[in-house]
Amino acid sequence: MAPPSPTSLTANVPSYRRGRGTHTEILGLAFAGDLLIVALALVAAHFVRFEILMESTYLYYVPLSGYLGHILFGTILMMVLLVNFRLYQGYQLLSYRRTYTVIGKATCSWVLLYLAISLILKFDPPISRFYALLGFVFAFAGLLVWRWFFHAIIRSESIAAQLRQRAVFVGWSAECERAMHLFGEGRGHPIEIVGVIEPPSGKWECKPPQEIPILGSFENCRDSIHQANADLLIVADMDLKRDEMVELSLLCEKELLEFKMIPSCFQVLLSGLSLESISGVPVLGISKLPLHSTLNHFVKRTVDIVGSIFGIIVSAPIIAFFGFLIHRESPGPIFYRQRRLGRNGKHFDIIKLRSMKLDAEAGGKVGWSTRDDPRRLKIGSFMRKWNIDEIPQFWNVLRGDMSLVGPRPERPELIEQFKHEIPHYNARMNIKPGITGWAQVNGLRGDTDLTERVKFDLHYIENWNVVLDFQIMAMTFFKREGAA
């Protein structure tokens, strides 16, 4: 089959609009509604705290006029967090489940940041902690109720049909199969696959399912997208020639379609895949991840500093007690230092309570401990079961070598082997390693499947938020088998 001529796809293409530009208006309505609900919630919190409760308590009184600045700041902070957690994305519009998840994360983050910032900046009058708690409850409940009614309206078929994008694929691949299942989940799916266009070579990577119609040949692409009334063209056949790809993009430009590709060469950190302009040259790459945000990095580091200081103070008696038991069973140093790789391949010495004999790695043999490792001390097995040997790593966190939560750091000798054997292994080093992590609380620590551990670590890197960190820290107490 001969490829189309340079002008065959774009010749005499009419310009028209499809009448599906309602996303912006509805997102604007959602933002305005959220803003109003948050402001009313903080006003209501003031009324309950300083008007209703004043009659039955000895709490100090501040009039509403004295709290207007606090209410304004709290409202702005909440909206910034909702934006930061990507609530106002087109693909979120029809999914109430994604919406209430984001609202929960944003409001939990808000109450912590609101109080922390007020203490650091010494607001006058000081913000009442009970007022902040009431504001959190009212904002969370108000946003959920308002968004439930909002979604009940926009998910009516007449509106939802306008919000969903009608997608046509050029070619078909295993990634398309996965996308089809994701797009079709529930009533809140943002994309409807309406057909597939044959690849110009006529060779399919894999055949599309029977329920997805084949609209026609590549040469008749223009007629096919008209017939399907498409809004989005997705190229799944990466064997297209450069001229063919350019012609498709020009066709989409003139037809007012969105043009996208499924680049099979990028199978890691996909949420950070973006197109940048470097000196005017377009470059596709992995760059934008949640912790690349200055605000997110500041929040995570603040939690690390506060948490590590608290951890050092609270754990000092525990370290002293178990240090005594270690020395009694195996005289010698109670701490164990081991070289690990951190963010961007930086070396650092991790600090642990010694849980093995002094000659555990005699002869230079490097490896993980196993469940019934004969090298372990008697008290070492107990410490590893309850993660007590990890406690001194609060000092690594305070120094900035590690974070409270992140992928577990590995030894350089092991990484030299793993990075060649395990796909995307070194992508974990985009962020600081952690005392605990998403893989560890899901049972993947020590001598476990490395490929699965990497998948969990990459999921954490792509989907980081401060609420997830607190969730992992809480789950750590219930996942007791020790780390490597």
Token pair of 332 as six digits:
């010698």
Does 19 score more than 50 pLDDT? no
Residues 331 and 338: their CA atoms lie apart, in Å, by: 19
Q: Kindly report which listed range (6-10, 38-42, 409-413, 460-464) carries the lowest average pLDDT score.
A: 6-10
- Other C-beta atoms closer than 10 Å to the C-beta of 388 total 22
Neighbour tally for 122: CB within 10 Å: 7
DSSP string, 323-382: HHHHHHHS-S-SEEEEEEE-GGG-EEEEEEE--B-TTTTGGG------TT-TTB-HHHHH
As a whole number, mean pLDDT of residues 422-440 equals: 82
CA 455, CA 425: separation in Å to the nearest integer? 9
Instruction: Single out the residue of 241, 238, 173 nearest to residue 212, CA to CA.
Output: 173
From the list 124, 95, 102, the residue with the least C-alpha distance to 182 is 95
How does residue 13 score in pLDDT terms, banded at 50, 70 and 90? very low
- Radius of gyration of the chain from Cα atoms? 28
Q: Indicate the SS3 state at residue 402.
A: coil
Which pLDDT does position 28 carry in this prediction? 84
Q: What pLDDT was estimated at residue 6? A: 41
Give the span between the Cα atoms of 33 and 143, in whole angstroms.
9
Q: What is the pLDDT of residues 60-81, one digit of tens each?
A: 678 888 889 999 999 999 999 9
Query: Chain-wide mean pLDDT for the chain?
Result: 78
CA-based torsion, 243, 244, 247, 249: positive or negative: negative
**Could you report the per-residue pLDDT of 331-383, keeping only the tens digit for each?**
888 898 889 988 878 899 999 998 887 766 655 555 555 556 667 788 888 88
Inform me whether the pLDDT recorded for 329 exceeds 70.
yes
- Those residues with Cβ within 8 angstroms of residue 326's Cβ, 6 or more apart along the chain or in another chain: 334, 353, 354, 355, 377, 379, 380
- Does position 34 have pLDDT exceeding 90, yes or no? yes
- Per-residue pLDDT at 11 exceeds 70: no
- Quickly count: other Cβ atoms within 10 Å of residue 393's Cβ: 25
Alpha helices in 155-241 (DSSP H): 157-163, 174-183, 221-228
Report the alpha-carbon distance of residue 386 to residue 402 in Å, rounded: 20
- Residue 359's pLDDT is 66
- pLDDT at residue 7 is higher than 50: no
pLDDT of residue 72: 94
Q: Decide if pLDDT at 185 tops 60.
A: no
DSSP E strands, 343-426: 347-353, 403-405
Q: Length of the chain in residues, anyone?
A: 484
Task: Give the tokens for residue 164.
Answer: 């969903």
Token pair for 45: 């919190």
Token pair 């809140």 is found at 188
Mean pLDDT of the 126-135 span: 89
pLDDT grade, residue 176 (50/70/90)?
Answer: confident
Give the Cβ contact number of residue 258 at 10 Å: 12
- CA atoms in the 13 A half-sphere facing the CB of 19: 3
